[in-house]
Amino acid sequence: MAGRPHGPALSATDQAERAPSAASLLHSVTKCVSDGCRPAPFPWPCMNRPASAAFSHGDGMARFAHIVPIALLLLPACRDEPQVRDERRAVAVQRIRADAGIGTTYAGEIRSAFESQIGFEVAGRIVERRVDLGSSVHAGQTLLRLDNSDYARALDSAAAQSGSARTAAAVQQADLARSRELLKQGFISPAEFDQQKAAAVQAQAQLRAAGAQSGTASAQLGRTVLTAPRAGVVTQIQGEVGQVVGAGQAIVTLADPSRPEIAVALPEGSLDRIRSASRLSVSVWSSPGRRYAARLRSISGAADPATRTFAARLSVDAPAQALLMGETAELRVEGDAGDAAVRVPLTAVLQSNGRAQAWVLDRRTMVVQPRAVQIGAAQGDMLTIRSGLKPGETIVTAGVHLLRAGEKVRIVQVPQS
C-alpha cells in the first residue's frame, strides 16, 4: 500500500533499544572535536533504514531531539583552525662576498701622446685638399692649399718696392762718396757733407724696410700651403675645398701613432684607486682577447663643469699599428691582491639626504638596520662599496625605500651571487 514504510513496523521497545543514547552521541561528537574532525563512528541505527521508519514514533524522536542543540554547539569546533598570517614585510636579500683584486673598468678612447691641431697661419679660401681621415703622412707633406693670388700680388708689390729702395740706396751711397772727396778739397762745407751722409743712411733704412716687407710677403705666400710638421696619422679634418678659414683656425688634427694613450673620464671616487692600483691594462674592441699594460701619465687638476669628471691620460705599451687612433678602448683598474672589494646591486643602495645607505639584515633576529656606506664606481647593475659593508653580511636588495629601522622582515628570495 502506498505511503507505508517498507519492512515490518518496530515496537516502541525495539526503537528505544536501537536509537542512539544521548551519552553515545555526545561521546561521538566530543571524539570528533578531540581528534581534529577525524571521522568517528556514530551509532546511527537509522542510517541504514528509511527515515520514516526511524522516526515513526514520538518516543524515538524525543530521545534524539535534546541532543541536537549540543551537537550544533560543538560542530564549529570541528572546523580547521585558521592559519596565522605573517605580517612581516617580504624582502629579497643577498649575502655579500668579497672579490679579491676585483677590477673596475672605464670606457675610453685611444689617442696619441703627441696630437697637433694645425691650421693656416693666414686667412683664405681652401682650393685643394690632399689628405683624408686616416691618411699617414710624413714630415713636410702638403695637406691643404689656399688661394694664393692675393698673396702673390702682395709679394710682387713688395719686391718692386724693395728694388726701388735698393736703387735709391745705391744712388745715395754714390753721392756720399763724391761728397767726401769734395769735402777734402774744400768745395763743400762739413754741414753739406753731413746732410748727404744722413740721406744715404735713410736710403739704407728704406732698403732694409722694403726687404723686410718683401720677405713677409714671401712668407705669407708660402703659408697658403699647409704641411705636416711631423710624421703621423690624420685623425680629424675640419676644412673642405671652397671653405674660407681664418688665420690660426684648427683644420687638421695630426697624431703620432707610435705613442698611443688612452683618454678616460674618471669620477671623483676613482682617483685614489687608479693612483694606487697594482695593475692597469687596456683592451680594445677590435682585439678583445688581448690586453696591454698601461701607466698613468696625468690627471686633470679640475673637474669638467658639465660631467664633474676628471680627464686622465695613460700611456699604453703596445706594438706599432696595434692600436688605431680614435677607437674605443677599455681601461681595467685592479687593486692589490689583498684588497677585497665589495660589490652590491644598485638597488641595494639608497640615497637619503645626500648620503648613501644600505639595509643590513641580522639573520638571527630577522631585523633590518640602515648603514651608511661610501660608494665607488658603478659597473653595469653593480656598485662598488668602498666602506660600510663587510663580506659575509646580508643586505636587502629590493624595496629598501619601504623599510624602517628595527623592522622585522621575512626572506622571499635569496639571489645567487
CATH number at residue 275: 2.40.30.170
Residue entry with cell 655579500: 96
DSSP 48: G
**More confident position, 79 or 112:** 112
Task: Say what the pLDDT of residue 99 is.
Answer: 59
Range 212-217 contact pairs with CB under 8 angstroms and sequence separation of 24 or more: 213/158, 213/161, 213/162, 214/155, 214/158, 214/159, 214/161, 214/162, 216/158, 217/151, 217/154, 217/155, 217/157, 217/158, 217/159
Same domain, 328 and 354: no
- Cite the DSSP H helix spans in 35-85: 51-54, 58-65, 68-74
Report CA torsion sign: 16, 19, 25, 31: positive
Q: Quick check: is 286 in a domain?
A: yes
Give me 10's grid cell.
Answer: 518496530
Q: Kindly report, residue by residue over 151-208, the tens digit of the pLDDT.
A: 999 999 999 999 999 999 999 999 999 999 998 988 889 999 999 999 999 999 999 9
Q: With bands split at pLDDT 50, 70 and 90, how would you rate the model's confidence at 212?
A: very high
- Please indicate, yes or no, whether residues 330 and 262 belong to a single structural domain of this protein: yes
Q: Which of 288, 307, 334 is the last residue of a domain?
A: 334
The predicted pLDDT at position 353 comes to: 80
Examine the domain organization and report whether 318 and 350 are in the same domain.
no
Residue 7 located in a structural domain: no
226-240, 246-260, 369-383: which has the minimum mean pLDDT? 369-383
Q: Which of 296, 299, 403 is nearest to 358 (CA)?
A: 403
408 lies in which domain range?
92-99+341-413
Into how many domains does the chain fold? 4
| Residue 234 included in any domain | no
Whole-prediction pTM: 0.51
Is residue 54 in a domain? yes
The band of 52, judged by pLDDT with boundaries at 50, 70 and 90, is very low
Confidence bin at 310 (pLDDT 50/70/90):
very high
Q: Provide the CATH number for the domain around residue 365.
A: 2.40.420.20
Query: 137 or 9: whose pLDDT is higher?
Result: 137
Residue with cell 674618471: 266
- Please report, for the domain that includes residue 193, its CATH number: 1.10.287
Tally of CB atoms within 10 A around 72: 10
Contact 147, 153 (CB under 8 A): no
Task: Report the C-alpha gap between 311 and 262 in whole angstroms.
Answer: 10
| Predicted confidence (pLDDT) per residue in 274-284, tens digit | 888 888 999 99
Same domain, 324 and 363: no
Sign of CA dihedral 56, 60, 62, 65: negative
